[in-house]
Chain A
Amino acid sequence: MITQLQPLFKSVSTQVRPEDLFLTKGSWVRFSDRFDEEWCSGKVFEVAEEPIIVPYQISYVLPGDDYKDVDLSNATNGVKLYPEKQYVLYQMAVGFKPGDYLVHIFIPGTKYVYELGDTDMYPDVTDASKKYLGAKTYKDSPADAPLLFLYAIKDMAAFTFRFYVLEGVDYEKCTAAFQINKCQLTEIEEPTEEQLEKALLIRYYDELTGF
């Protein structure tokens, strides 16, 4: 799942730190029943212990008008930011350092997340206009105040970041800064109405697109 706070948030909420936006001990999460994994599908969990936040960064120097796809999963060629155990949820806040580049997000593989309803309206780095469609920049989620959150469990489909350096730039360094909130989950076998209502819903990736 992906959530993103409004960019305005970082300027008006002066009393809130990025850490305050993370799941904490006692938080409730509910997984969509679209998940295939039996241990979590349609179930409600409580964050059992105080989570541990692990910072990590990835950077790539790329030429202008060119791009690189980066798999965030634990696949052989991935950067391996996913959990390796069941009953663990990684909540990843991701921000970007300033630069002349865009970031497109896919899940799984090359399936766009940020598209519109018309069949022609999908992100396309070869198109002068559509390269900006759904693209994230450091202004959408700054590295020092991330507003974009990804959620990952063991063996989940891979998020892919496509870093695209704008035309006219010789080379650019693209940097994504992650704060990975490692949450251990305990199942709530008989959740109350309040828990069902207030739990953070973790949607399956195909619920993010197609409308």
Chain B
Amino acid sequence: MATKQVTANTSAQTIATAEKHKKCRITAINVDNQYSSSIKLTLQDIFTPDASHGVSSPTEKTITRWVRTIGNGTAYSADQNELADLVCLGTVKMVASATSTDCIIVVNYHWE
């Protein structure tokens, strides 16, 4: 299992870089938001599909896999049910609605 800590940022922060032959299973997301207002967090899965029968020249895709608004002054832990099917195919990034070092996000994941 791997762990990545980032702080809230309107620029997407990399959680895990894609592995060619593996998927990234997110096992825990813990957030401590001590910023002055609530922050909306979005977990993105970014990849370029391979050429297929239907799409000969695919372009990069950004898929939203998880969204949660965390109230100010609160901590949040995503539970097992919420994350049960949270699997990413490419590079995993977290983007926030505000930038603040007072909002800390810790993501646990493993490759499978």
Interface residues of A (CB under 8 A from B): 57-63, 66-69, 97, 99, 170-173, 175, 177
Contact = CB atoms under 8 A, between A and B. Distances in A.
A172 B87 CA distance: 10
Contact of B49 (A57, A61, A99): A61
19 contacts: A57-B20, A59-B20, A60-B50, A61-B48, A62-B49, A66-B52, A66-B53, A66-B55, A67-B52, A68-B52, A68-B53, A69-B53, A97-B112, A171-B47, A171-B49, A171-B63, A171-B89, A172-B89, A173-B89
Contacts of A60: 50, 52
Contacts, number: 48
A175 B58 CA distance: 19
A101 to B, nearest CB: 12
Interface of B: 20-23, 47-55, 58, 61, 63, 89-90, 112
| Main SS at interface, chain B | loop
B55 A57 contact: no
Contacts of B89: 61, 171-173
B109 to A, nearest CB: 15
A210 B112 CA distance: 39
